[in-house]
Chains A and B, each alone.
Chain A
Amino acid sequence: MTVRIALEDGFHGDTVVISAEDGATYRADDLTTRTQISLAASTELEVPDEADALEVEVPTRGIRERVELGGRRNVTLSIRDGRLQVGFPEQIGFA
């Protein structure tokens, strides 16, 4: 299934690595949020239908977390107060 991932608020020159259980990986460096659309980057990862979770790493912030998908396909990631904030909106869109 396709998981849509939006890296939203709080990124400033950061590196992000997102890995699925089957090895699918997304990596981006020097990400900075454009605050007027609350978006640093977005991507889609093809993961097995039965995939449970994603591993999210922000090495520039010392963050490493496991994000449980629970069957959800829209994932938003933000950094606030040094911690990863995860959201599962019904839709991903920016304005």
Chain B
Amino acid sequence: MEELGQELLDEETAEAHGEALPGPIPFPLTPPFASPASGLYRRELGFGHAKAAPIGSVPIGIRPIRREELRLDVDGRYPQMTASGTIGGHLVSRVHWIAGLTKVGPNRWTGAIWYKDGAVVSFPYTQVEVKAIRSPFPSARAARVTFFGGGAPKRKVHYRFRSQYFGTVNFEFDWAQGKAASTSIDTCAHPNRPATMACETLTIPTVFRRAGCQVTTSPGGPVSLGKAGANALWSDLEMHDAMQAYWTHFAAKAQWAMWVFFAALHEAGTGLGGIMFDDIGPNHRQGTALFVDSFIATPPAGDPAPAAWIERMRFWTAVHEMGHGFNLAHSWQKSLGPPFGSPWIPLADEPEARSFLNYPYSVAGGQNAFFANFEFRFSDQELLFIRHAPERFVQMGNADWFDHHGFEEANVSEEPALTLEVRANRERATFEFMEPIFLELKLKNVSENPVLVDADVLDADGLTLILKKEGKDARQLIPFRQKCVQPKAIALLPGKSLYGYVLASVGLNGWDAADPGTYWVQAAARVGEEDVVSAPFALRIAPPASREEEFVAGDLFSEDAGRVLALAGTRVLDRGNAVLQEIVERLPERRIAVHARYALGNPLTIEYKELVPKDEKLTVKVTSPKPEDAKELLAPALLEQGDVAADTLGHIRYRRAVERIALRLAAAGDTDTATESLDVLHDVLAQRTVNDRPVKPEVLAEIDALKEELAAGVKTRA
């Protein structure tokens, strides 16, 4: 059955690539018949389910799911008994998981998830169960995966078969003038070979197809020797120039495509048989080269088949270098760490591996021993990487996550109707150490027509916000709070803008903007089927002003304190409140104290409801407001230092804070203080001009109108 399945695999491959089929397909097909289960599957969103499968008990940062793939690797060529998947949410939101599998029944496997990458707070599962639905007809194949464990309810996902391959890659083989690109080999041409190895004409694309890649090739051609300079020897820079000039797919971006160059010699001499030369610029690993006149053209004395030896070494070198293009390290250096790099998972060195990534002459017994049992393949560790590692680790030209690529998958219109701006409402985007970074967002209609947008489009949990500190990986903000609201569409008229704000410093993934230094922030809002992406915004966090700040910062940069600040106060997170109280007492002049006062005082302005257990049931406990305590905390922050408060909270948040408190005061009968607060708010904002931009007159008018309503007793509810 496996042989029949393998035959079908090869026939499908041959047919897909216009190669001659080995023979007529028998009809009718003789049962029993087994199609392979391995391959790429995709979740058809909505397929077979009335509702979308939830991603987990904390569905933050990934919803809505836009793409979900499964790579099942349990049969076919070199099965790794592994399943992996990628769940893509909005733009950069992504989870990648990998599970080892054990067969537990016909077409059933289970195993533990041993690798996760991305927004893993949204993906608590620890186990998978996979069931494959086989069929001789690819369109009828499917897989069902049940995710469980990690304290989350089970999640079942149904996937449809897409391809026997796990990914697609394009190769272009070019050659220096006077040379040729030989991309195939007769595996039995040399007598020193494994006794069990099948005799075939093996091509480089087939090697990678067996590794799980659907390979396409672009027509190759000659490269002028003039590119090598007067000495006709190639330097890395000259090859890089040639790649840019001759490779039809060259682009300064990550893509599943590679250029392979057959040249005579590198300027380093005959000792260099090949090199993945592309380690300059922002996109590495797109180009490789081999040097056909190097040591790989000199068979050992007494070799029984010198011409076949040369062909084999040339073939080995080409695939070896291409393996580096896939980001594979040499067999003996898999575990190599900093400062040279880092393995994607803990890897074992394989100094004796019979893999393309090993040097034949470096193993015990030398190349005779190597080729005696080399089957023109990659090792299992390498296949696991090629087939199942996160795409960015493998893909040619890809860099560290988000570096240099930003929102590469954003669906940005070529003629956008909307623009998104990230800004801080202050002259210079420099923040004190420990000052929470509240940024404002402005979504503007730059077209001539009204545009329908969701009223909450700029809410933190609907945005994608990326922060990147210089020298560090980019991080996505996962906000503490996620709302579930009925969408409400509003019409944004031409020239008009919608405003919002976001706390960029801290979220579920921790304090990502805390250390002193320069940061870049970029946001994207989803409007219909398009993404509106802001330009990157630079800000700076200053160093601590005192040892005392450093001391307190250790407690501030905690989840509890972060939550209290993000939620504008709570009466139940005692540890967070204690930190903020300490800040108010020890650092009263620092801007973090404004935020602390606001977070501590705000909950005291309302009847505070808590859900508490009582007599084995849950009851609502209501604590009365404490207006005098609230005033003692809030007045110094929001009113006496109004300008500082507006600067550090941002105009929008400052306005909302004061207006909300004014409404609560009025509701409690203290109309005088309420209207006085609004007077202060008005005066503070009226005097604020940031980068020659005053606060809009209509904002000031709205504040005045609210004050009039409160004075008249018309409005008493926040």
A interface residues, Cβ below 8 angstroms from B: 9, 12, 33-38, 42, 87, 89-95
Hey, which chain B residues are within 8 Å of A90, CB to CB? 300, 361, 366-367
Q: In the bound complex, how far is the Cα of B321 from the Cα of A44, in angstroms?
A: 26
Hey, which chain A residues are within 8 Å of B336, CB to CB? 9, 35
If over half of A's interface residues share one DSSP class (helix, strand or loop), that class is named, otherwise mixed; here it is loop
Please tell me if the beta carbons of A95 and B340 are within 8 angstroms of each other in the complex: no
Hey, which chain A residues are within 8 Å of B361, CB to CB? 89-91, 93
If over half of B's interface residues share one DSSP class (helix, strand or loop), that class is named, otherwise mixed; here it is mixed
**Does B296 have its Cβ within 8 Å of any Cβ on chain A?**
yes
Hey, which chain B residues are within 8 Å of A94, CB to CB? 271-273, 275
Please tell me if the beta carbons of B366 and A95 are within 8 angstroms of each other in the complex: no
Total CB contacts across the A-B interface at under 8 A: 60
- Please pick, from A9, A36, A42, the residue contacting B271 in the complex, using a CB distance under 8 A: A42
Hey, which chain B residues are within 8 Å of A87, CB to CB? 362
Given A93-B359, A95-B273, A95-B359; A35-B366 close (CB under 8 Å): no
Q: In the bound complex, how far is the Cα of B84 from the Cα of A26, in angstroms?
A: 50
- Please pick, from B279, B294, B295, B339, the residue contacting A36 in the complex, using a CB distance under 8 A: B279
Hey, which chain A residues are within 8 Å of B497, CB to CB? none
Give 1 or 0 for each of B273-285: 1 = CB within 8 Å of chain A CB: 1111001000000
Q: In the bound complex, how far is the Cα of B321 from the Cα of A42, in angstroms?
A: 20
Q: In the bound complex, how far is the Cα of B294 from the Cα of A92, in angstroms?
A: 12
Q: A39 → chain B, closest Cβ, in Å?
A: 8
Please tell me if the beta carbons of A35 and B340 are within 8 angstroms of each other in the complex: yes
Hey, which chain A residues are within 8 Å of B271, CB to CB? 42, 92-94
Q: In the bound complex, how far is the Cα of B276 from the Cα of A9, in angstroms?
A: 16
Q: Can you name 13 A-B pairs with beta carbons within 8 Å?
A: A9-B332, A9-B336, A33-B340, A35-B336, A35-B340, A36-B275, A37-B272, A38-B333, A42-B271, A89-B362, A95-B290, A95-B317, A95-B321
Q: In the bound complex, how far is the Cα of B339 from the Cα of A90, in angstroms?
A: 30
Hey, which chain A residues are within 8 Å of B362, CB to CB? 87, 89
Given A12-B339, A35-B329; A91-B279 close (CB under 8 Å): no
Q: Which residue of A lies closest to B269 (CB)?
A: A42
Please tell me if the beta carbons of B366 and A89 are within 8 angstroms of each other in the complex: yes
Q: B325 → chain A, closest Cβ, in Å?
A: 10
- Please pick, from A33, A89, A95, the residue contacting B272 in the complex, using a CB distance under 8 A: A95
* Most B CB within 10 A of own CB, among A9, A33, A90: A90
**Does B312 have its Cβ within 8 Å of any Cβ on chain A?**
no
Give 1 or 0 for each of B307-340: 1 = CB within 8 Å of chain A CB: 0000000000100110010000110110010011
Q: In the bound complex, how far is the Cα of B330 from the Cα of A37, in angstroms?
A: 8
Q: Which residue of A lies closest to B291 (CB)?
A: A95
Given A42-B271, A92-B271; A36-B324 close (CB under 8 Å): yes
Hey, which chain B residues are within 8 Å of A12, CB to CB? 339-340
Given A35-B333, A36-B279, A87-B362; A93-B341 close (CB under 8 Å): no
Q: Which residue of A lies closest to B321 (CB)?
A: A95
